[in-house]
Amino acid sequence: METALYGAGASKKDGSEAATITHSGSREANCAIRAAGKSLIGDLICLCAPDSTTTNVKLCGHTVATHTQAWGGSFVPKTACDTLEPKCQSFTGKLTAHEITAALAAFRAALKSGKQADPGTVVLGNPHTTGKCPSQQQIACVDYTSAMSQWPSEPSNEIKWYKSLEQVASKLLARAQQAAKQEKDATELQHLKLSAWQLYEAMKIEDLPTAPALTPKGNKETTAEEKKACEKYKGTKKE
């Protein structure tokens, strides 16, 4: 996620490194692919941070007076980042694949062509009539044209932070599916344990030993020895 936010290889999380934003002498060049698209923070600065030509202009829904320097060497991206960050509402929920894919869909829906220039231009924000993003009044945008050759028919593109977010969404989805499978397996195992126990209890009842049949005492059959002893007793009694 930090790769999408700050760019691949960024060690500082404040917009001050080249991994986050390319900062040279031209806003038009820096806010267009291939220089742009490195990170969400970098593109946010292109969209929302005014330079000396756009001082106090209301960009991205807020009046942001970053500083009065021109975009070149005097313009400090870190200062812009420090000013813009508090304007962004903190996310307090649980990040899911669904939320990321929904955000990417919203991004694609916000893209537009510079119709006054080349219809094939793909920009986010308010471009110049040329379809570019120079340092001029009321101009603030990111030119993604070079990264979106199949737009709008295909959502796939070469924007680095976009692809990083796709990877995050894919990992989160796989993790959620694995967790759901583990929960399902645990539930099925619990059901199997219950079924096995119920079967065991049923078998215990069926296998109880049966008591031997009892012969009534009065109907007991006389054995040969008993008959012999009885006859002997009778003979003795007669004498």
| φ, ψ for residue 63, nearest 5 deg | -85, 110
Query: Which amino acid is it at 44?
Result: L
Distance CA 111, CA 94 (A): 27
Tell me which residue has tokens 């379809």.
131
pLDDT of amino acid 168: 94
Give me the residue spans of the domains in the chain: 2-171
Q: For residue 4, what pLDDT band results from cuts at 50, 70 and 90? A: very high
pLDDT of 44-96, one tens digit each? 988 888 777 765 556 676 555 555 677 876 677 888 888 788 878 887 888 89
What are 9-54's pLDDT values in tens digits? 998 888 888 898 888 878 899 999 889 999 999 999 888 887 777 6
CB 137 within 8 A of CB 26: no
Crossing angle for the helix pair 77-84 and 40-48, to the nearest 10 degrees: 90
Measuring CA to CA, how many Å separate 138 from each of 54, 104, 119, 163? 7, 25, 21, 29
Query: pTM of the full predicted structure?
Result: 0.72
